[in-house]
Homo-oligomer: A and B are copies of this chain.
Amino acid sequence: MSDTRDEFSLIDRIRRRANVTSLLGLGIGDDTAHLLTNRDDGVLVAVDVLTEGVHFDLSRTSPDLVGRKALAVNLSDIAAMAGQPTAAVVGLVLPRDRGASLGESMMEGLISLADEFDVAVIGGDTNSWNGPLVISVTILGEPTGKGPVTRAGAEPGDWMFVTGALGGSLVGRHLSFTPRIVEAIALHQAVDLHAMIDISDGLASDLRHIANESQVGATISADRIPIHEDVDASLPVDDRLRHALSDGEDFELLLAVSPLDGERLLGDPPIELPLTHIGEVTDEIECRIRRPDGDVEPLPKGGWHHGFSE
């Protein structure tokens, strides 16, 4: 956990901000952090890297939102396992000419979100260079007592659900979304989640991830897919559906449960967020979409082909 002699010291920043946790065995500033673990259930770990010019444009996005998002995408990964996030470490590469103020602002956004979810920022490494901004966040979490929920447990006959609504995230929601930690844990407690993923690549792609890892297929119904109000309402329905299927960065949950648990979720939803039954898992290894007229077609890899025919 070395820190460089930059104007902006991440370690000092974290120390000042006093973002700590009862799980932290050691204070910030030693060679490593020491995180006490609550249970014998092990540790969940994920890393995400965001780069200036690829994932964000600082001429249009304020740095606190970039810091927030760098943590939020990781929290969403923990949510996809129905885990409880506990701690994060941050690797920063700051542009030499803008470093100190950028670093401060990014960490402000990141730590604010961390506080919302009781996540301790327990360490980091800062560097500066004559290049664009890079932020790498590693998140640690714990499975609940019921264990982590993987992508691999969907069974033929299962019902597929999504939380919230999809599409149009790049209008702005991708920077300010709420990771579905609370919802994932509530769902995990209420029913037996067979498989779950967070929708980052888009519903069509992430459905395929569950299908591949579970060695099953799935058929979803076009007219059940919840389309977000961020998708331009004046567009033709096909275009709106394409956005919902393939825009990505929704960071909603896609999950598979037994039909019996599906009925339970519909009858007595354990979360406030809308929970929509969008389709079923099949034993045929293909992802398909049911057209409003009842015809079933292969679901294109990229999501949705305009006019059901391209």
The contact string, 1 if C-beta is below 8 Å from chain B, for chain A 98-133, is 000000000000000000000000111111011110
Please state the number of chain copies in the assembly: 2
Across-interface contacts of A262 in B (CB, < 8 A): none
Q: For A122, give its contact among B2, B45, B134 (CB under 8 Å).
A: B45
What residues of B have a CB within 8 angstroms of the CB of A216 in the complex? none
Given A1-B77, A34-B81, residue A47 in contact with residue B143 (CB < 8 A): no
Chain A 34-55 interface 0/1 with B at a Cβ cutoff of 8 Å (1 = within) = 1111001011111111010111
A78 to B25, CA, bound (A): 15
- Residues of chain B within 8 A (CB-CB) of A2 are 48, 73, 77, 200-201
Contacts A32-B44, A47-B123 known; list 17 others, CB within 8 Å. Answer: A2-B201, A29-B151, A30-B80, A30-B150, A30-B213, A32-B45, A32-B46, A32-B78, A32-B139, A34-B42, A35-B45, A37-B42, A45-B89, A45-B123, A47-B138, A89-B138, A125-B136
Question: Residues on A close to B: CB < 8 A?
Answer: 1-2, 23, 25-26, 29-37, 40, 42-49, 51, 53-55, 73, 77-78, 80-81, 83, 87, 89-93, 122-127, 129-132, 134, 136, 138-141, 143, 148, 150-152, 197-198, 200-201, 213
